[in-house]
Every structure is written in structure tokens, then in C-alpha cells.
Amino acid sequence: MRLSRYFLPVLKETPAEAQIVSHRLMLRAGMIKQTSAGIYSWLPLGFKVLRKIENIVHDEQIKAGHIPMQMPTLQTADLWRESGRYDAYGPEMLRMKDRHDRDMLFSPTAEELFTDTFRSYVRSYKDLPLTLYQIQWKFRDEIRPRFGVMRGREFYMKDGYNFDLTKADALHAYNRHLVSYLRTYERMGLQAIPMRADSGPIGGDDTHEFLVLADTGESEVFYDSQITDLTFGDREIDFDNKDQCQAVLEEFTSRYARTDETHDAEIFNKIPEERRRVARGIEVGQIFYFGTKYSEAMGATVQDAEGNVVPVHMGSHGIGVSRLLGAIIEASHDENGIIWPEGVTPFHVGIVNLKQGDDATDGACAQLEAALEAAGLEPLYDDRKERAGAKFATMDLIGLPWRVTIGPRGLEKGVVELTSRRTGESEELSMDAAVARLK
């Protein structure tokens, strides 16, 4: 991509309305534009990162054996009356009427719709286990939308729903989600800690929230510092193996980690003092097991092996896809801008031309651009007639992990300059060597 042909409306001034760094940087880097309170347009750069995050979420869900589909954003109120949540959900639900005066709503979550889909088709235990999921826009009329995409009113969420014959099978689905979520966040360069939480309006007893530690987080969290030593890494996992998945749950819940809703000072105070941490966190996901709450209310049943008709055991599992952009930036930035982890960066590398209009330099930049594209990478080539300082500032702001700087002086020596956004370290090397390094 050539920057001269792209749409990257970078802001010079720091927007006054943005209180936290991720919101400021997303506005300044031309990623989002607020259209009304808590509702954003996703400009090309923001949209690109959103897609990268979405793709990782899909990839890990599919690896775990979960099946993607898509539900409508607008739903009839009737389903929610069946579950009893139409009245219970409260003012966060955006309600509307169609021209025939029928009550509609913009989906804030989709337990009812997935349960209805399930009961429409599935009759036998032989069709279980089943986990369906979607990544779809949600709307919650948050009382205080703030912090940009962190607490929007319209936001993008992955929501998955498991249907199982027994509680044991549903708890295996719960564990499968825990494992797949750990992998998902790590691929985005994030540490998200599963913490015991409160189930809120979804209902149920078993639930964990995944929290990214950050001073700007809205949740207060209490944990044993040893929990931050745990990483899933690149270990092999068989998602069908119940014992393996259970072992991961046990490992990642073996240390105290709770949100304020479930915090128990008595247990916490037994942890050696130097390991006790009270901090803040950003909720980037949550998993629930809620048994037969919805299946009983809505008649989602199957025949078991003995011919009995039984309600299925269910859970639901969410990831805040759009909130993750904010969380990643909160966790990875410096005073000059964003520092994208490799897994989600909008472009892999920026090319800065120090002497636009000089035939040799222009030619070298075009050659590097082509070589990087041939290597399967996406470069962003700053081919504008701008001062070098302004070009560097833009690259630092938008946070691409690598920058290659090309100018006449280097070309005389046969070298380009490769700079790491994270460390700031630069190295001179031949163009071929630079491409080989970035591959």
C-alpha cells in the first residue's frame, strides 16, 4: 500500500475528549471516528486491525471444534419474553418497534436466538456435543460509554454457545473455551488472566472473566503474583481430550485471581504478602456454564440413549473483539504511539523514502515494496513528499513493528536501515538481508 493513495487521517493535536491513551492513540492514528456517543466508524487502519483480531478469534475457535455462523443483529422481543429476559435486561437493551408495531431489539447478546436455532433442528443426543458461535455487532445502551472502543454502545463481539447432554460434557466445553481463549489472547501478544467472576444477567454458577492488567482497567482485581508466570505457549492440545483440557483449567486457576465481585479477603490474606496484588484490569472475555437455565425455559431438549427427553446443558462464551484493540494498545505503546504486536499489526513493515522524487531512491523503495509483497508481507510505503521527521512520526504513531528507511546516502553504500519499533534499535544491511530478516 502506498500512503499517498491510502486513507489515513492522522491527527496532529491530541483530542481533548479522550481520557485514556488507547482512545487518544486510536483517534490520532486515524483508526476510528466517533459518530455518536459510544458509536464509531472504523476507518481503514482500525478496520484492518479489527479484521486481524477477528481472524485470530475465528482460527482458534475453529481449531477448538466450534462452528461459525451469523445471526441477525435485530431480533424479535418474543424470544426474550420466553426466557424471561425481555423485562429483566433493563435499559441497556435498545428496544424498537417495526411498522407493524412489533417489539424488536438490537441484540446485546444472543442466548435466546441460538437456543431457538438449536431447538428448531436438534432432537437427539447423537447430534451432541455442539458449539455454535458468531462474531457480530452488539448494542448495549451503556449508561456511560467511554474510553473509545473499550466501552462502546455498539461493539463487536464473539459469542459462542455450547449444547451438551450432560453437565460433565458442558464443563468440558467450558474448559475447551478456556484453552482456546488463552491461545487467542497470547497470539495477540496479550496476557489475559482467567479470574473467578460473577455471572450477572447471563446467570449460572461457573464463570471466569479474562482480564488484561492495566491501570486504566475498569475492574478491580486481586491476585497472587505467581499467576502472571503462567503462559500457554505453543504446547500441543487435543481439544477432544477431557483430561487435557481439565488440566489446563486447573493449572490456570491454581493461584488466587478474582475480580472484586467474588473477592474473598480471608483467602487472599493467606497468600504470602509479597505475592498479593491489588490492581486494575480490562475484561476482554468471559465464559459461563449455566446448565439448563435457557434450555428449560425455551424447551431445548434432546432424547438421550434411553429415550428420555432431557433439556440440554449449556454455556456461553464471549470475547470483546473491538475492545481488544483498546486493550492491546493500553498494554503496548510508548510516548510516540502504538507498538503493534506482530500478530495483529495492520501492516508488517513501513517503508520510509527519505528523498521522494529522486529516481534512485524511488526505484529502491519500489523494489523493496515488491520484494516484501512477494515474500507474503504487507508493507506500507510512505511515498509522500514530506520531511523525514514527519514520516518517522507517522510511522511511530501507527506502530508498525518494523520500519525500513531508504535514502541516497545509504544506497551509495548499498544499504538500507531496519528499525525495530519496540526497541528503537537500527541496523544497516543490504535490501536482500532486510527482506530475509522480515520474512
Q: Provide the binding-site residues for ligand ATP, judged by CB under 6 A.
A: 109, 140, 142, 151-152, 155, 157, 283-286, 318, 320, 322-323
Q: How far is the CB of 192 from Mg ion (least distance, A)?
A: 13
SS3 content of the chain, % helix, strand, coil (to 5): 40, 30, 35
Identify which of residues 54 and 142 has a Cβ nearer to ligand ATP in the complex.
Answer: 142
Identify which of residues 17 and 334 has a Cβ nearer to ligand ATP in the complex.
Answer: 17
Q: How far is the CB of 327 from Mg ion (least distance, A)?
A: 14
Identify which of residues 109 and 180 has a Cβ nearer to ligand ATP in the complex.
Answer: 109
Concatenating the DSSP letter of every residue in 1-29 gives: -BGGGS-----SSPPTT--SHHHHHHHHT
> Grid coordinates standing for 377?
508481507
Among 70-78, 147-155, 282-290, 361-369, the segment contacting Mg ion (CB under 5 A): 282-290
Identify which of residues 66 and 391 has a Cβ nearer to ligand ATP in the complex.
Answer: 66
**Does residue 107 contact residue 136 with C-beta atoms inside 8 Å?**
yes
Pairing of the two strands 154-164 and 313-320:
antiparallel
Q: How far is the CB of 352 from ligand ATP (least distance, A)?
A: 34
Select from 134, 207, 286, 394 the one that contacts Mg ion (CB under 5 A).
286
| 115 Cβ contact partners less than 8 Å away, ≥ 6 residues apart | 83, 161, 294, 295, 298, 300, 314
When asked if residue 115 is in the footprint of Mg ion (CB under 5 A), the reply is no
Identify which of residues 279 and 393 has a Cβ nearer to ligand ATP in the complex.
Answer: 279
Q: How far is the CB of 177 from ligand ATP (least distance, A)?
A: 12
Among 74-82, 276-284, 326-334, 409-417, the segment contacting Mg ion (CB under 5 A): 276-284
Please provide residue 254's backbone torsions phi and psi, each rounded to the nearest 5 degrees.
-80, -10
Choose the one of Mg ion, ligand ATP, none that binds residue 142, judging by a C-beta under 5 to 8 angstroms depending on kind: ligand ATP
Identify which of residues 141 and 428 has a Cβ nearer to ligand ATP in the complex.
Answer: 141
DSSP lists the bridge partners of residue 133 as 68, 160
DSSP lists the bridge partners of residue 311 as 301
Cis peptide before 129 (omega within 30 of 0): yes
Q: How far is the CB of 321 from Mg ion (least distance, A)?
A: 14
| 309 Cβ contact partners less than 8 Å away, ≥ 6 residues apart | 301, 302, 303
| 247 Cβ contact partners less than 8 Å away, ≥ 6 residues apart | none
Identify which of residues 11 and 39 has a Cβ nearer to Mg ion in the complex.
Answer: 39
Choose the one of Mg ion, ligand ATP, none that binds residue 332, judging by a C-beta under 5 to 8 angstroms depending on kind: none
Q: How far is the CB of 247 from ligand ATP (least distance, A)?
A: 25
Identify which of residues 180 and 286 has a Cβ nearer to Mg ion in the complex.
Answer: 286
Q: How far is the CB of 252 from ligand ATP (least distance, A)?
A: 17
In the chain, what is the greatest distance between 2 CA atoms, to the nearest angstrom? Answer: 82
Residue nearest to ligand ATP (CB): 320
Write the single-letter amino acid at 76.
T
DSSP lists the bridge partners of residue 41 as 33
Total binding residues toward Mg ion, as defined by CB under 5 A = 2
- Burial class from Cβ neighbours inside 10 Å (0-12, 13-18, 19+) for residue 160 reads buried
Contact residues: Mg ion, CB under 5 A: 283, 286
